[in-house]
Chains A and B, each alone.
Chain A
Amino acid sequence: MDGVDTSITLTVNGREHRLRIDVRSSLLDVLREDLGLTGSKKGCDQGQCGACTVLLDGRRANACLALAVAQDGAEVTTVEGLADGDALSPLQRAFIERDAFQCGYCTPGQLCSATGMLEEAARGWPSAVTGDLTADPDLDETEIRERMSGNLCRCGAYEGIVAAVKEARA
């Protein structure tokens, strides 16, 4: 079938890219294959593991479920864009200090997801374990675990991940 290719513009980690893509490409494939940004990982490719999490127009999203063609004009931040030059973000530092990973495969997704999650909590968004839906949530361990449930870690580094997110929340 003809007409499979199409053009989109994406701003990734502050840099604008004009890209010619197969209309079937996921945002994840475009980031990894076309832009060489291999930090975002392909785990399940069906939205269940969270290893592909990026910030899409400022919100955490699964890049494997996002058709790239539908994101034309979007701003994307990947794990490669979280640090300011060589200066790691507070969350990245906390992941190292708290030993929040073993093999590291899920870590880019954990970092992008937690970055987006802290922003959601700062805006007062409730979660499924929030008691009073009208009050600002208190980001305790139960809240962190619930809000991070879209990111699996097969090494089971959850203790460290929760500790790191807790440390970075302030």
Chain B
Amino acid sequence: MRPFAYERAATAEEALARCDEETRYLGGGTNLVDLMRLGVERPARLVDVTRLPHDRIEERSSGALRIGAAVRNSDLTAHPAVRRHHPMLVQAVLSGASGQIRNQATVGGNLLQRTRCSYFQDITKPCNKREPGTGCPAIDGEHHNLAILGHSESCVATHPSDMAVALAALDATVLTRGRGGERAIPLADFYRLPGSHPERDTTLEPGELVTAVEVPPLAMPSRYRKVRERASFAFALVSIAAAADVRDGVVRDCRIALGGVAHRPWRARRAEDHLRGRPLTRENLAGAADQELAAAHPLRDNAYKLRLARNLIVRTLLELGERA
């Protein structure tokens, strides 16, 4: 591991002042430390942001929750208001990693974790995300777990976070602080598709610090479901965060986001639009899934994700409807 300078920031201003091009902010370190050991990340300086005053979950009078970026994943899932109001967020976070890692990992770090594409993590291989311009061996190589939607000739990586999928369905906002001041970035604008710049996962400016996530209230039953290669402690092949307001068998409103299928959490707006106002039937759900997945371009070995995604949409929404 390359030697680095370690500094602990007490305030966001201090963190920003110490951040330059070769600096990384350190949260729980569960992804960053691993990447440093692999040689994928080689920062000259770490600024520890875990002791900034961003470790609280506040309930706003609007019913929104403001979740500090330094809140540990396990504290988020243990919080009574989050458990009561946002089951799909709790289920998403609990379905990720292990009990140990959730105790260490922070909300900000969860958002900013890097893809687990095996080529990205292997410095002996080319990778446009790690070293722009070197190529993408995954397109013709090992890609059974990679993207089917929104990928490019440069990159077919997927975003690994479960939490971010639930936040996409919840219309959450990422609050940041940078040299230009504070910003509120809707989650839909926070993550990028790879295009010709897969090295950039998000729309954050250099040095910009995530300080909190704001989650507006949601008055619909919701759930998160994840399909993976073993029962626990594995990344998603495909996952879904869904919510539905069903009355008299008709979908009044719904939210659908998919994980494991793209470079960012995939909000299925076409499927949502198709469902609103229609009876909640297997046929209509399959139709909604097909509308969304018409844009998919599966790779040689991952077309199975199309059926998985379709089945997840149908089953999860039917279950939510039964509860109404």
Contact = CB atoms under 8 A, between A and B. Distances in A.
Contacts of A116: 99-100, 103
A12 to B, nearest CB: 18
A70 B95 contact: no
Given A3-B5, A126-B90, A149-B232, A67 B101 contact: no
A67 B99 contact: no
B304 interface: no
Interface in B87-101: 87, 90-91, 94-95, 97-101
24 contacts: A23-B5, A24-B4, A46-B37, A47-B30, A47-B101, A50-B100, A59-B74, A60-B99, A61-B104, A62-B104, A65-B101, A65-B104, A66-B29, A66-B33, A67-B6, A67-B46, A69-B6, A70-B8, A116-B99, A125-B77, A126-B78, A126-B83, A146-B232, A148-B99
Chain B, interface size category, equals: 35 or more
Interface in A104-144: 113, 116-117, 120, 123-128, 130, 133-134
B286 to A, nearest CB: 27
B29 A65 contact: yes
A62 B324 CA distance: 41
Max chain A C-beta neighbours (<10 A), residue from B33, B48, B231: B33
Main secondary structure of the interface of A (DSSP, over half): loop
A3 to B, nearest CB: 7
B27 to A, nearest CB: 10
B180 interface: no
A45 B37 contact: yes
B83 A134 contact: yes
Contacts of A90: none
Max chain A C-beta neighbours (<10 A), residue from B83, B84, B97, B99: B99
A117 B98 CA distance: 11
Chain A, interface size category, equals: 35 or more
A125 B78 contact: yes
- 6 pairs of A and B residues whose beta carbons are closest in the complex: A150-B98, A149-B232, A128-B94, A149-B233, A1-B3, A59-B103
B117 interface: no
A47 B34 contact: yes
B90 A60 contact: no
Contacts of A6: 6
B211 interface: no
